[in-house]
Amino acid sequence: MVLKARQTGLHTVFCVREILDDPDPSSIPQIRENDMTVKELTQEARHEEALKKYLLDSPQLAEEIKDLPADDQKDQIQWAFEDEAESQGLQPWELTLKYTSTPEEFEAARLVLHKEAAEVLGVEWEEYCEMNNLVV
């Protein structure tokens, strides 16, 4: 069994993978997906969708990277996406929300996620808004 941990945003996600040559289904432990697992997958899928939409909106980028290997293309798209977020005064996760939701959904979800971050950090909401240039 392999246990790996990786830091994602404010959470540490633990991934467990069992490697068996000839798996007996009764020997594989049953792992229930909790809300965090489902949310994690949803966030990853949402980000992939945002990257696809961003690339469609960026034909010059698509042209520049078309001859690169697939992994390099993926990296270049991610870096350009992060640069675009910064140019709009957003975090990359906020730009992901912007590309995958309506303007109303974006504002509502953005505030909810910022409030969660403020709570996790133990910072009063007003102070957090000031530190992050949020206008509520």
Alpha-carbon distances of 103 from 25, 89, 97, 108, 110, rounded to whole Å: 46, 16, 9, 9, 10
pLDDT in tens, 21-33: 334 444 444 434 4
Q: Where are the domains of the chain?
A: 2-100, 102-136
Give the model's confidence band at 63: pLDDT under 50 very low, under 70 low, under 90 confident, else very high: very high
Average pLDDT over all residues of the chain: 77
pLDDT of res. 134: 83
Mean local confidence (pLDDT), 4-17: 37
